[in-house]
Structure formats: C-alpha cells, structure tokens
Amino acid sequence: MYNEREFIRAVKQSFEMYKIHGARSTAKLKPIHKYFADVLYSIWGKGFDYHYIGVDSKEMTVSGKYYPKDIDITVTHKGIAVFCLGIKFVTSNYKQNSNNYFENMMGETANIQATGNLPYAQLIILRHKTPYYLKNKQRTLKLTA
C-alpha cells in the first residue's frame, strides 16, 4: 500500500538519477515507476502482470481510440490492460511548458478512456521550486531537491 516515506524516498532516488543521467534519460523514472508498480501490486495482487520502466520490465503500448500509447505503468490480466497510470516528473522549465503538460495529459487520458472501460489515472510530480534553464546558459549539476 501507499507509504508516504517510501514515496518520498522514491522521488528522491528519481531526482538523484536525474542529476546523474540528465533530463532525457529514462533512469530518473525507474525508482518512481518501481514504487508505484509495487503499490499497484499490493492492490491488484499476484494474478496480474505489471509493465513499467524498470530493470527487468518495460512500458506497455496500449491501443487508444486515436493512437497507440506507451503507458508508464500498466496492470494487465491475461494480456489485457485493466488499469493504466501515467506519471509526469517535472524537473525544470515547468512555467514554459505548463500548458503542454496539461493538454498532453488530457489528450492521453481521453485517448485511452475513449476505448471503453479502461481506467487511466495521471500523477504529476513537481519540485517545490522548479528551476528554469535558458538554452544559452550553461547548467551545472549542483541541483538541490
């Protein structure tokens, strides 16, 4: 089940991976995806499969009404998706991209839920003070959580 201390630990680990590997790397997603896959396992149990970016697993592509979508975490039963969770972990430039996040999340949700009875939830994680980086300035890795 959900445990706030473990959730914060997973977010901190994800942020550390971001600092080491950079914004484009999927390494920052592994700790937070693993945490939520474990939470979903505690809810759904052994009879289900869990697809997420992890050491021994990967995201699953789910057919949407308008386009197929790689889902961050998908719970399946006998190969059929029964629950989907999208995760956005914003580490910088939120102000610049805030409308894009909202519109993309709404579009993803509508695309998946329009296919029928497939629950699709979204989680967005924002830093308390999200930095803004200009393209013409050098960025250091002295970031703080």
3-60 pLDDT tens trace? 889 999 998 998 888 888 877 788 888 999 999 999 999 999 999 999 999 878 889 9
Specify if 66 maps to a domain.
Answer: yes
Specify if 141 maps to a domain.
Answer: no
Specify if 136 maps to a domain.
Answer: no
Specify if 45 maps to a domain.
Answer: yes
Specify if 143 maps to a domain.
Answer: no
Distance CA 116, CA 118 (A): 6
In whole angstroms, what separates CA 60 from the centre of its chain? 13
pTM given for the model: 0.78
Number of domains in the chain: 1
The pLDDT tens digits of the residues spanning 65-101 come to 999 999 999 999 999 999 999 988 776 555 555 556 6
Specify if 132 maps to a domain.
Answer: no
**C-alpha atoms less than 13 angstroms from C-alpha of 145 in its C-beta half-sphere:** 11
Distance CA 140, CA 109 (A): 35
**Structural domain of 103:** 4-126
Distance CA 19, CA 23 (A): 8
Specify if 65 maps to a domain.
Answer: yes
Secondary structure (3-state) at 21: helix
CATH number of the domain within which 35 lies = 3.40.1350
User: 128 vs 50, 90, 106, CA distance in Å?
Assistant: 30, 11, 23
**C-alpha atoms less than 13 angstroms from C-alpha of 110 in its C-beta half-sphere:** 7
- β-bridge mates for residue 89, sequence order: 125
Instruction: Reply yes or no on whether the pLDDT at 145 is more than 60.
Output: no
User: 145 vs 12, 36, 40, 60, 121, CA distance in Å?
Assistant: 7, 20, 26, 30, 25
Specify if 135 maps to a domain.
Answer: no
